[in-house]
Amino acid sequence: MLTVTWLVIALPLLGFVVLVATGRRLGEPWAGWLATAMVSASFLVAIGLYLDLLGIKAPVRSYSENLWTWLDVGGLNLHAGLYVDPLSMTMVLFVTGVSALIHLYSIGYMHGDKDFAKFFLYLNLFVASMLILVLGSNMVMTFIGWEGVGTCSYWLVSFWFERNTAAVAGKKAFLYNRLGDVGFMLAMFLTFENFHSLDYSTIFARVDSVSSLNITVICLLLVVAVMGKSAQIPLFPWLADAMEGPTPVSALIHAATMVTAGVYLLCRVHPLLHASPTASLVVAIMGAVTAFVGATIACAQQDIKKVLAYSTISQLGYMFLAIGCGAYTAAIFLMVAHAFFKALLFLGSGSVIHGLHGEQDLKRMGNLRQYMPITFITFAIGWLAIAAVPPLSGFWAKGDILDNAFAARPVLWGIGVFTAALTAYYMSRLTSLAFFGSDRWGQKHPVDPDPWAHHAEVGEQRAPVESPLVMTLPLWILAFFAATAGLLATSGNFSLSAWVDPVFGSSLFSNHLPAGDLWVLGLLDTVVALGGVALGIWLWVSRTDRPALEIPFLRNAWYVNEAYDTLLGRPSTRLAHFSAEEVDLKVIDGAVNSLAGLVRGAGRIVAKTQTGYLRNYALAMVGGVVLILAFMVTRMWWG
Amino acid sequence: MTTSSFPYLLLLVVIPALGSLLVAIWPRKSVADWFHEALGVGVSVLTLVMAVAVLVVFKSGVAGYQLASEHAWASGLGIQWSVGIDGISLFLVVMTGLLFPVALLGARVKRDRRAFVAWVLLMEAACMGSFVSLDLVFFFLFFELTLVPTYFLISGWGYARRGYAAIKFFIYTFTGSAFMLVGIVALAFIHRSQTGVLTFDLVPLMHTHLSGTQGVLLFCAFTAAFAVKAPIFPFHTWLPNTHSESPVACAVLMIGVMAKMGTYGVIRFDLNLFPQACRTVAPVLLTLAVIGITYGALVACAQRNIKVLLAYSSLAQMGFVVLGTFAIDPQGVTGGVLQMVNHGITSAALFILVGWIYRRRHTWQIASLRGLQASAPVMAGAFMLAMLASIGVPGLNGFVSEFLVLLGTFEAHRWWGVVAVAGVVIAAVYFLWTYQRVFQGAPGPDDATTSDLTWREGLIVAPLLVLIVVMGVFPKPVLDRITPSVDRLVVHVDHVTHTDLPSGLHGSALPALHSSALSAQCSSTAVSCHPATSATRGVAR
């Protein structure tokens, strides 16, 4: 079975190709079903691979294969190679699984869109790229997938391209990622210089022979790449704007899969990170600070998807905190759990938006539990899961990270716990505003219009309606896993750590706390989570405006966008115009023209003897050359 | 060097040249309106067939010149018809063969088609000639000959200020070439003073002993011509004038094909003839390349005319070729050679698409276009693909060459490589911003009625788009033909400059390669590792 690993990638890729060729003719809903079928088939293959991999009885289960040689230039030998181990297998399983559900959901969500087929074509290509990223056996393969998902994200964010905000948001997402990619490319170059290879297995085998300074620089460059892709400080502003894309895209790309690529990358290169305590510290600090900043911003957002977007940034921060502490398994654990509950929350919010005919403003929702019971129940599971209320998955996953942080980096643990309280609070605020309180979706005038929030023409409001089965079925399935994914924390053969720990081996942080401490920490987490939930409900269940809690500083995301605009955007625009209008036209071309003028002045004296017509010279020249050619040819053939 | 009894390379030059003549003299009367165009396309397709035949008979993994032939001609002057092809010129020839029919079909003109087609075919003959010539005089003649049809194409079929643009282009490039002519003659005489033989043949001239100053001076003379043609910053200011006024076919061919003659000249002649000088001035050229990459991209950001924007984008893209070339290591030069081909393909696709927009809307102004993706989704998709290839998105051809160039530069001259990577970001800025303004947003009334690509147009641009994908996914067959020749060239440079192995930072990375390539060269081409012998040629048959 493992020998057909390529099939996991090929199936969605085939779907993409078929849809490119025939998508418009297939139309709705068959294009959607085809895409869903392809990804589902890929998921089934992935299960087969998983069972095969389980059958391998080695300390580190793995399988690798080179499909073809991509290039071979001067000592640089790169293969289109795949590498399957428990780490990449975990990614493949949840990427294909969650993708299949979101494809299914999209058939309902994208109903009636004029570019229905195109949406699924992009989605299939995205899945294929994500799988290349995950399964690549060398850094270039990872990078190909890395850029592929970024490009698909660009297309999908600006999917409704006629809306200018969507077009701008797509471009912004791509450019922030490109900034990060500079780090990735330089990291590859430096790796090749030091390790003479870009294959992961070769690199890891040579870690001891490379200076720790170089390893640290490589790691930090990769961290720059991660900042872009996983929306970490300071390259995070694009993710909130990326919410301009259709909601299934937000769920799949900007919550469950693509943005976690950074987490996967750093887990993949764990031997390097392990060899560089400095880089690990940087990752941990980046994660903790991002978790905190993202959570504070989420507390003051009014657009339901923006709250979830900043929440994603914050949750990703937790994962990097874990990686920075050496707790790779804990990072993977939260990544999987987060994929379930955040995809659930996004799809739930999509169901809400769908039901309200395009409304995204939390302050114009309210009391939806009466109208959309399934959406409400499943959403509530996601809400309590992310708030880390026991016994749902978030409690175990986040708890695992916090326990490790407590042992490894206590200060950052403090930030993490405080952020956990904020998380419970802002998610409760969101749920209270959307599902509890009074009906506000009929109001003609918004309480406090947020210029970002109004995409749809919300005219005469009809009563919200529950979404169709293709949309609610994925909600149920995701809710089930969001609730039960905590079981991965159990000890035994089927636990996550028994499965992936061997991959990380000695890189893994192993200074485990005594059981008593764990109980205390678990209790503390519970208290924090319940406290945050209670506070959020108490403050927001019956009121919609509390200006003291929604200060402009947080609503405007710490003014990071403004800072980028002032420091980077406007100066570079000015530099571009200065270069084009002053330097190029006046200085360089001016110099050339004045030189020509000088020559012309001198030439006028000589010119009296010449006809002065350039075309005459040119004609004379071409005539001469043709004669030469003709002469030459005759010499050769008859000579 | 391998020879061939069938004159492939001669035919590459002769077919379009005779075709041009045929089109020019075939009377206009008694034939249909489209006849001359069809004849021209037929001739260019026949040339393409010949170019593909060359690709087929070309032996992969052979470093030396193939399909070579030489015939004495003006022996007293040391000039001979000497042609050959190796991995460095192979794909340029094939690309030239492809782009001419594409340009003829994709960028037709409305009036005086007979003359137009005749000039284009003459240009093709000259381009082919300069890519296959191994004799400096013939190279120079072909190199110069391209100017004539270009001048007439711009001044005859250009836009408002075409007269100024054509003259500026002509004088600018002609001035550069004058230096090269002096350089060629000087080099030949230096060679004669050492060996007593007057020759303009590249292979013996490679072993001329030049003092440091001589080398640098001659290098500068040759590079003056190449730098204008490519163009290399700051010799690029004919570019905006020319490309705001030139007809689309001319823009496609000048940027797609003729620009490559500049960078090809650097690789073929500068590196072979003046290795020591190349090493000496490499930092200068690397700096100019990096400025070209970032500055070209920056200036492109500020353009309002989409055709001029693409011209500045070419300045940046060609900067990568120069960068890779002067890294003078296998990855850098291979990347540079591949980048020429890739840029030829992507820029041609972009110019042709923009030309089709003009044909529909009669404007080059970005601000007059909006939301075209709604009414012309296929055109938008084609533009997107070519654009992403230019930006260097992996999976498409542009990434392979950009990656190799940047890697090669990073290994040899780290900080230039680091700065050049920034150019990758700025390229994304101006391309994505252009796409956003032209293809996205709410379409205006004119935009909503802009028609999508016709089937015919789709078929014309399809080969380019297919190549963009195929060469991105399977670059190896292409690279396998390029690398042996590049390795040989790099070994030659290293040998002459006595830094037989790159030292310092990057030395440890490549010793195995260099020594193996060196020994492979020595065994397969025997004497090519020993300078001062003209018996080099003809050994590796």
CB A625 within 8 A of CB B141: yes
| B227-233 average pLDDT score | 89
Residues of B in contact with A75 (CB under 8 A): 330, 509-510, 512-513
What does the pLDDT look like over B354-385, one tens digit per residue?
999 999 998 889 999 998 998 999 999 999 99
For the beta carbon of residue A462, count every other beta carbon within 10 angstroms.
Answer: 11
Q: pLDDT band for position A415 (50/70/90)? A: very high
Peptide bond just before A468 cis, omega within 30 deg? no
Question: Is the pLDDT assigned to residue A612 strictly greater than 70?
Answer: no
Which residues from A are below 8 Å from B144, CB to CB?
Answer: 621, 625
Average pLDDT over residues B244-269: 92
Q: What percent of chain A has pLDDT over 70?
A: 90
Q: How many Å apart are CA A239 and CA B1, to the nearest integer? A: 57
Mutation target among A24, A71, A149, A598 for the B interface, most CBs of B within 10 A: A71
pLDDT of the residue at B85: 93
Query: Which of A464, A440, A447, A435 has the alpha carbon at shortest distance from A537?
Result: A435
Q: Please, which residues 575-604 of chain A have a Cβ atom closer than 8 Å to chain B?
A: 575-577, 579-581, 583-584, 588-589, 592, 596
pLDDT average, residue stretch A538-547: 86
| Residue in A583, A618, A625 closest to B141 by CB | A625
Q: Give pLDDT, residue B450.
A: 86
Sorted by where each begins, the domain ranges of chain B are 282-473, 474-541
Q: How confident is the model at residue A445 (pLDDT cuts 50, 70, 90)?
A: very low
Closest CA to A336 of A170, A131, A212, A478: A478
Contact B479 A185 (CB under 8 A): no
CA distances from A568 to A232, A574, A576, B305, B430 (A): 18, 10, 12, 24, 15
At A469 the pLDDT is 87
Q: Answer whether A534 touches B (CB < 8 Å).
A: no
Put simply, whether B217 touches A (Cβ < 8 Å) is no
Q: Is A539 exposed, middle or buried, given 0-12, 13-18 or 19+ CB atoms closer than 10 A?
A: middle
b/e map of B355-391 (b: 16 or more CB within 10 Å)? bbbbebeeebebeebbbbbbbbbebbbbbbbbbbbbb
Q: Do A615 and B152 touch (CB under 8 A)?
A: yes
Q: pTM of the entire structure?
A: 0.89
Please say if the pLDDT value at position B519 is more than 70: no
Cβ contact A618–B433 (<8 Å): no
The size of the A-B interface in CB pairs under 8 A is 197
User: Which helix H or strand E contains A71, and what residues bound it?
Assistant: strand A63-73
Q: Which of B69, B80, B82, B410 to mutate to test the interface with A (most CBs of A within 10 A)?
A: B410
Rounded distance between C-alpha atoms, residue A620 and residue A614, angstroms: 10
User: Would you say residue B77 has pLDDT above 90?
Assistant: no
Residues 352-411 of B with CB under 8 A from A: 371, 373-374, 388, 393-395, 399-400, 403-404, 406-408, 410-411
Among A75, A178, A588, whose Cβ lies nearest the Cβ of B237?
A588
Is the CB of B371 less than 8 angstroms away from the CB of A190? no
pLDDT confidence band for A342 (50 / 70 / 90): very high
The nearest CA of chain B is from the CA of A101 a distance in Å of: 27
Which chain A residue lies closest to B140 (C-alpha atoms)? Answer: A625
User: Which residues on chain B are in Cβ contact (under 8 Å) with A584?
Assistant: 237, 240, 299
Q: Does B145 contact chain A (CB < 8 Å)?
A: yes
- A638 Cβ under 8 Å from any chain B Cβ: no
Residues 169-188 of B with CB under 8 A from A: 170-172
What pLDDT, in 10s, does the model give residues B290-327?
999 999 998 998 889 999 999 999 999 999 999 999 99
Instruction: Tell whether A573 is within 8 A of chain B (Cβ).
Output: yes
Q: Contact A588/B234, CB-based, under 8 Å?
A: yes
CA dihedral A603, A606, A611, A612 (to 10 degrees): 0
What residues are paired with A133 via a beta bridge? none
Q: How confident is the model at residue B503 (pLDDT cuts 50, 70, 90)?
A: very low
Residue B249 forms contact with A (CB below 8 Å): no
Residue of A nearest to B294 (CA): A576
The pLDDT-based confidence of A604 (bands split at 50, 70, 90) is low
pLDDT at A630: 61
Q: Least CA distance to B81: which residue of chain A?
A: A632
Q: A190 CB near a chain B CB, below 8 Å?
A: yes
The pLDDT assigned to B446 comes to 87
Let me know: does B180 contact B224? Beta carbons within 8 Å: yes
Tokens 């003259």 locate to B167
Quote the mean pLDDT of chain A.
86
CA–CA dist B413, B409 (Å, integer): 5
Residue A625: its chain B contacts at CB < 8 A? 141, 144-145, 148
Q: Give the span between the Cα atoms of B339 and A249, in whole angstroms.
A: 35
- On the question of pLDDT at B94 being above 70, the answer is yes
Q: Which of A577, A589, A614 is facing B167, going by the closest CB pair?
A: A614
Cβ-contact B89, B121 below 8 angstroms: no
For residue B19, what pLDDT band results from cuts at 50, 70 and 90?
very high
Q: What's the pLDDT tens digit per position in A180-227?
A: 999 999 999 999 999 999 999 899 889 888 889 999 999 999 999 999
Query: Mind listing the pLDDT tens digit for each residue in B25-68?
Result: 888 887 887 888 899 999 999 999 999 999 999 998 888 899 98
* pLDDT given at position A547: 84
Q: Does A637 touch chain B (CB under 8 A)?
A: no
* Minimal Cβ distance to A70: which of B149, B428, B475: B475
CA distances from residue A441 to A84, A363, A458, B383 in whole angstroms, order as listed? 49, 8, 10, 42
| pLDDT for B476 beyond 80 | yes
The phi, psi pair for A70, rounded to 5°, reads -80, -50
CA distance A278 to chain B (A): 23
As a whole-number percent, the residues of chain B with pLDDT over 70 amount to 92
Asked if pLDDT for residue A621 goes beyond 50, the answer is: yes
The residues, any chain, with a CB within 8 Å of residue A362's CB and separated by 6 or more, are: A302, A303, A304, A307, A430, A433, A434
Closest residue to B433, CB basis, from A171, A577, A615: A171
* Mean pLDDT computed over B461-468: 95
Which residue among A76, A192, A579 sits closest to B302, beta carbon to beta carbon? A579
**Rounded percentage of chain A residues whose pLDDT exceeds 90:** 48
Residue from B20, B145, B390 to probe the interface with A (highest A Cβ count within 10 Å):
B145
Across the range B426-444, mean pLDDT stands at 90
Q: Does A186 touch chain B (CB under 8 A)?
A: yes
Cβ-Cβ contacts under 8 Å, A639 against chain B: 71
Measured between beta carbons, the chain A residues lying within 8 angstroms of B298 are: 572, 575-576, 579-580
> CB distance A633–B301 less than 8 Å?
no
Give the closest of A71, A589, A618 to B151, CB-based.
A618
Return mean pLDDT, chain B.
Answer: 86
A contact residues 45-84, partner B, Cβ 8 Å cutoff: 68-76
Of the pLDDT bands very low, low, confident and very high (cuts 50, 70, 90), residue A624 is low
Q: Which residue on chain B is closest to A193 by alpha carbon?
A: B509
Burial B466-500 (b: 16+ CB within 10 A, else e): ebbeebbbbbbebbbbbbbbbbbbbbbbbbbeeee
The residue type of A598 is: L
Work out the angle at residue B445's Cα, subtended by the Cα atoms of residues B442 and B450, and round it to the nearest 5 degrees: 90
Through-space distance between the first and last CA atoms of chain A, rounded to whole angstroms = 68
Q: Between residues 321 and 340 of chain B, which touch chain A (CB distance below 8 Å)?
A: 329-331, 334-335
Q: Tell me the per-residue pLDDT of A30-40, one tens digit each, with 9 for 90 and over.
A: 999 999 999 99
Residue of B10, B406, B436 with shortest CB distance to A185: B406
Query: pLDDT value at position A143?
Result: 94
